[in-house]
């Protein structure tokens, strides 16, 4: 009986690993590119996702509390698929606010992925934005390997046309998650999702090896291409 349980446990972990590896392989480029087209596309898509959230009537709380965020993590395409076992993932960018100047950092590149067990069926593509509310949340992301719910608490942000700026969610959480989704799944849970730094993408985008800390805190690199994204975030906060 015990041996049977152990075998099932090992099998579950093997399935999890296979699902995540398959998902990451699906998201990876077919061939290595000498330029930064993919990285630029991701930054552009992240800006579009941010614009979509600002324009969504269900995101009034999100708009009203952008000023409280110490950082933003944006995933333009978070794909979830399942046939008994599920996997989800997507690439995104992380930017943080300089507390002294109020300026937003250059983007650091990440992958977010998760897996789940139990009977499920369907497919879904979502846009995801995480509001990073605490310094702990920022510091954990800068480590480059961060698990939601374990290395930092995450709560679901309030969504709905009737949600006012006075509505108070769990503001003690390190991050609030906001999701715009269409598909066969009723919702998207980000609890347990892993955020892993894509240092090779950052290297391609900035032309030198850099860590998330080098990008976000030390400001060692710059790419004028990201100016549109960072300006749009600043204008949204300032009400322009």
Confidence of residue 132 (pLDDT cuts 50, 70, 90): very high
Tell me the per-residue pLDDT of 200-225, one tens digit each, with 9 for 90 and over.
Answer: 999 999 999 999 999 999 999 999 99
Task: Write the DSSP assignment of the chain as a string of letters.
Answer: -HHHHHHHHHHHHHHHHHHHHHHHHHHS-SS--SS-HHHHHHHHHHHHHHHHHHH-GGGHHHHHTGGG-SEEEEEEEEEEEEESEEEEEEEEEEEEB-TTT-PBPPPEEEEEEEEE-SS-EEEEEEEEEEEE-SHHHHHHHHTTEEEBTTTB-EEEPP-STT--TT----TTSSEEEEEEEEESSS----TT-EEEE-HHHHHHHHTS---HHHHHTS-----GGGHHHHHHHHHHHHT-
- What gap in Å lies between CA 20 and CA 113, rounded to an integer? 7
Burial class (CB in 10 A: 0-12, 13-18, 19+), 40: middle
Closest C-alpha among 94, 89, 133, 132 to residue 110? 94
Output the pLDDT for position 24: 53
Tell me the per-residue pLDDT of 7-22, one tens digit each, with 9 for 90 and over.
Answer: 444 444 444 445 555 5
Tell me the per-residue pLDDT of 46-95, one tens digit each, with 9 for 90 and over.
Answer: 999 999 999 998 899 999 999 999 999 999 988 765 544 445 678 999 99
Output the pLDDT for position 11: 43
Confidence of residue 184 (pLDDT cuts 50, 70, 90): very low
Q: Say if residues 127 and 179 touch (Cβ distance below 8 Å).
A: yes
Q: Where are the domains of the chain?
A: 2-238
Pair of tokens at residue 200: 């090779």
Q: Cβ contacts of residue 193 below 8 Å, gap of 6+?
A: 88, 112, 113, 114, 147, 148
Distances from the Cα of 56 to the Cα of 131, 161, 164, 180, 234, angstroms: 16, 9, 14, 9, 18
Per-residue pLDDT for 186 more than 50? no
Task: Say what the pTM is.
Answer: 0.77
Output the pLDDT for position 31: 42
Q: Return the higher-pLDDT residue of 25 and 11.
A: 25
Output the pLDDT for position 22: 53
Tell me the per-residue pLDDT of 137-182, one tens digit each, with 9 for 90 and over.
Answer: 999 899 888 777 666 687 888 776 555 544 555 567 888 989 887 6
- What gap in Å lies between CA 204 and CA 21, rounded to an integer? 22
């Amino acid at each position: 009986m015990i041996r049977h349980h152990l075998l099932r446990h090992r099998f579950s972990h093997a399935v999890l690993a296979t699902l995540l590896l398959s998902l990451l392989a699906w998201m990876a480029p077919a061939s290595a590119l000498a330029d930064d087209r993919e990285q630029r596309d991701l930054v552009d898509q992240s800006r579009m996702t941010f614009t979509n959230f600002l324009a969504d009537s269900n995101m009034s709380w999100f708009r009203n509390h952008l000023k409280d965020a110490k950082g933003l993590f944006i995933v333009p395409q978070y794909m979830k698929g399942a046939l008994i076992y599920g996997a989800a993932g997507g690439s995104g960018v992380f930017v943080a606010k300089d507390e002294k100047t109020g300026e937003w950092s250059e983007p650091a590149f990440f992958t977010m992925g998760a897996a789940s067990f139990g009977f499920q069926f369907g497919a879904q593509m979502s846009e995801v934005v995480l509001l990073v509310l605490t310094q702990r949340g920022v510091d954990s992301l800068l480590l480059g390997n961060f698990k939601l719910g374990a290395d930092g608490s995450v709560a679901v942000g309030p969504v709905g046309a009737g949600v006012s700026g006075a509505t108070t969610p769990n503001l003690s959480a390190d991050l609030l998650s906001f999701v715009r989704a269409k598909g066969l799944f009723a919702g998207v849970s980000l609890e347990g999702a892993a955020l892993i730094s894509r240092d090779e993408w950052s290297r391609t985008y900035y032309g030198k090896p850099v860590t998330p800390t080098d990008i976000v805190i030390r400001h060692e690199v710059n790419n004028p291409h990201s100016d549109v994204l960072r300006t749009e975030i600043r204008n949204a906060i300032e009400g322009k």
